[in-house]
Structures are given as structure tokens and as C-alpha cells.
Amino acid sequence: MTIYPVLLFISLVSLLTGCKDESHKEESSLSTDQANQTVVDEVSQTSYQTYQVDMESMGLGLYGGEDYNMGFRSRDFHPQDGASPGNQEASLYIQDAFKEMGLNVSVQGKYSNVVGELTGTKTPEIIYVIGAHFDHVKGDRPGGDDNASGVAGVLEAARVLSQYQFESTIRFICFNAEEDGLWGSKDYVKNHVVPGAENIVGMINLDLILRPGSDVDSLSVIDAELETRSIHPASLSWAKAFQKAAVDYVPSLVVDDNIIDGVSSSDNDSFLNGGYPAFLVIENSDPDWAQANPYIHKYEDASDRLANDPESASGVTYDYAFAADITRTSVALIVQEAILVTESN
């Protein structure tokens, strides 16, 4: 007769313990989400804009001094001619920014990619990369959108993430010689990643993220586009994780549900070709993309020229809030995947 109350007591204890465990898990998950959101919210539009304007101004010697003054703005790197003074000035700026953030800084390979590393505390062999190319084409071409915008995103992400510790390693890479054939990123994968048998589990490439409006379609949706290849399932999953990070942490950013399947002609291709998960984040890349943003590789692509002039025929301008949201989402994805170190873990 006494066995039933005992069983009932045991069942009640098990139930209460189970409820307590589930409650703890929910609280832990909520705490993690809150901690991640706190990091994401530290991304500053003002800071992003400062980086972008600084980067598009390279070639005037405003940062490095007269030795880098070309008399016009340019960050050209040509495989035969090498780095222009403006390209060298940009490299110096990026190196100094990474050093000030406390990152481990190196200049890699014959194309002088600039790398800042935040080494993981628990699984440093697992590596996440957020990158953008910092070179541009010859002549008076500031490259405000292409690709001072992407470099600014990498620098702002590095500024925020470098204030924390993560279980896995995060690399911030500004690639060189992209415009003439992705030479910098190709060299990085071939001569650094592959020989070192490195475990790159995810690469985010930021290229042209500042001018999402269309000069030919005023009704064009303002959204971010992702590009990767469906034949590489890991890359497709990685891109989908970015979409989810936007929903969870940066709801103000609209990301196209359709992931563009194909060659991007940007540095993510070098990682994809090496078998590493990678995708490109880019401003609205609709079928009339070349007409939608006619200032790419042109004199007018600068914050103080037609590409950002509200009095231009289309009225389309740079959208710093949009670019900052792309940076926030990139940070959100990295924070989740590299695993933010907190008191609870």
C-alpha cells in the first residue's frame, strides 16, 4: 500500500527537476541571445561612415602624408605595376586600425592582403572569415561604393568584435588585387589556407553594400542580395544562416529570400573554388544591376559626387543605414557561430 505514494513522490520530483532543467535551458538560451544582441547593437553607423569616407579618400596623403599623395583619389593595384601610393596608403590605414583594435596583424602574400586575427579561446583551429577587397581601378576613381563600403563593414565589424572573446577564431581580411582577377584572395587560399590545412568553416564577403537604390527603377525593392552556388551545399546553408541572423537580430534589414546561384566575380569565389563555405553580400543585384548603379568604376562613385547626390536625375544616394545593417547582420552571424565567451560558458 505504501509503494504508490513513493512512486508518486518520485514522479513529482522528476517532473519538477525536468521543468527546472527546461527552464534553465530557456533562460540560458535567452541570456545567450541577449548577449549576442548586445554585441550586434554596438555596430555604429557613424563609425561605419567614418571608415568609408576615410577609405574613399586614399591617394591624397590625408592619412599617410605626402609620400602617398597622388593628387587624386585612387587605390589601384595592378599585377604588373604593383601598388599605387593610394593603395599603399589604404593598406597602412587598415593595418593601423587592426593594430589599434588589438588584433594579430599580418600582411600576406605577394599581393599584400591585410589580415587581422582574433584567436579563439577554445577551438582556435575553427576559423571564420569576414572580408572585402580594398583595391580599385586606375585613375581618379574613389571607389566609394566599390569597395570602400565593404572595407568599412569589415573594419566596423572588427572594431566591435575585437572587444570580446570567442571560442573560435575570427579573421578580418582586406584583400588586394581583386579588380584584376581576384588575385589577392586566390593567393590567400592557394598559398596560405590550403598549405596550412586550415579549417575555414565560413567566409562572408562584403562588396558593394552602400547604394541599394536603382537609377532605372524607382520602385525597386531596397534589399540585400546573397550570392553563392547551390552545387556547394555548405555555402548555401551558410548563406541561409545569414538570412536567419537578419530576421533574429537585425529585422530592419530586408534580405532577398532568393539566393543568387552563380559566379560572383568577387573574393568569395576564391574560397568556393577551394571548397570552403562562402557567399557574397551585395546591394540590390537585380537583372539591370549595371544600369541600376551606373557609377561603378567611375569618377562619380564617391560620397561627395553624383553617386551620392540627392539632386541627381534619379535622386538615389548612398544608404549608410542599409550598409550598417549589413554589417550588423554579419556581426550577428559571426557572434553566433564563433560562440561569444560569456560568464555562463
* The three three-digit cell numbers of residue 269, written as one number: 569565389
Where does the chain show beta strands of DSSP type E? 77-78, 82-83, 104-108, 113-118, 123-133, 168-175, 199-206, 224-228, 260-261, 278-283
Tell me, what's the pLDDT at 344? 73
Q: At residue 213, does pLDDT exceed 50?
A: yes
Tell me, what's the pLDDT at 285? 61
Q: At residue 219, does pLDDT exceed 90?
A: no
How would residue 335 be classed by pLDDT, with cut points 50, 70 and 90?
A: very high
Q: At residue 1, does pLDDT exceed 80?
A: no
Q: At residue 238, does pLDDT exceed 50?
A: yes
Chain centre to alpha carbon of residue 285: 17
The mean pLDDT value for 313-340 works out to 97
How would residue 149 be classed by pLDDT, with cut points 50, 70 and 90?
A: very high
Contact 315, 180 (CB under 8 A): no
How would residue 28 be classed by pLDDT, with cut points 50, 70 and 90?
A: low
The mean pLDDT value for 324-339 works out to 98
The mean pLDDT value for 299-315 works out to 96
Fold of 44-338: Aminopeptidase (3.40.630)
What's the CA gap between 341 and 122, in Å, rounded? 9
Tell me, what's the pLDDT at 9? 38
Domain boundaries, the chain: 44-338
The mean pLDDT value for 93-122 works out to 98
Burial of residue 11 (CB within 10 Å: 0-12, 13-18, 19+) is exposed
Q: Count of CB atoms within 10 A of residue 196's CB?
A: 9
Chain centre to alpha carbon of residue 100: 19
Tens digit of each residue's pLDDT (9 = 90 or more) over 154-174: 999 999 999 999 999 999 999
Q: Please name which of 248, 81, 109, 240 lies closest in space to residue 173, comparing C-alpha atoms.
A: 109
* The three three-digit cell numbers of residue 197, written as one number: 590545412
Tens digit of each residue's pLDDT (9 = 90 or more) over 128-142: 999 999 999 999 999
Tell me, what's the pLDDT at 288? 62
Burial letters for 55-82: b for 16+ Cβ neighbours within 10 Å, e otherwise? bbbbbbbeebeeebebeebbbbbbeeee
* Omega of the bond leading into 199 within 30 degrees of 0 (cis): no
Note if the pTM is more than 0.75: yes
Lowest mean pLDDT across 17-26, 196-205, 228-237, 250-259? 17-26
Q: At residue 301, does pLDDT exceed 70?
A: yes
What's the CA gap between 171 and 45, in Å, rounded? 22
How would residue 220 be classed by pLDDT, with cut points 50, 70 and 90?
A: confident
SS3 (DSSP) at 315:
coil
